[in-house]
Amino acid sequence: MNAKSQGPGPSTGGTTYRSTSYTGLLPWQVRERRFPPTGFGRRGLNPDDVYAFLDRVAVDMAAVYAALAESRRETARIKAGLRRWQTDQARARNERGQAR
């Protein structure tokens, strides 16, 4: 992850600053994160609740990453279509200019 970034992808010139030591989480990292159990008679979190929550977070993150990937594929498809259209338009202009 880049120093200036708002998400796990390449830097997009976002305004959120993160140090270069910051790394974005991936779904598998959230799923595999474990917390030490609380000792007897001590206050703490129920590990089962923590793990259930982490699994929910991982599922949500996976959905976000999938949507981002789909968005990038769609952007690439649109850009390719625009390039083809621009090429066709330039070719048509050149043909009209040569016909004179």
Give the number of other Cβ atoms within 10 Å of residue 58's Cβ: 19
pLDDT given at position 52 = 86
Q: Return the top range by mean pLDDT from 28-32, 47-51, 66-70.
A: 66-70
As to burial, measured by CB atoms within 10 angstroms (0-12 exposed, 13-18 middle, 19+ buried), residue 97 is exposed
Q: What is the pTM of this model?
A: 0.56
Amino acid at 51: Y
Average confidence score pLDDT of the chain: 79
Looking at residue 6, what DSSP letter applies? S
| Residues 6+ away with beta carbon under 8 Å from 92 | none
To the nearest whole percent, how much of the chain has pLDDT over 70?
77
Q: Where are the domains of the chain?
A: 27-99
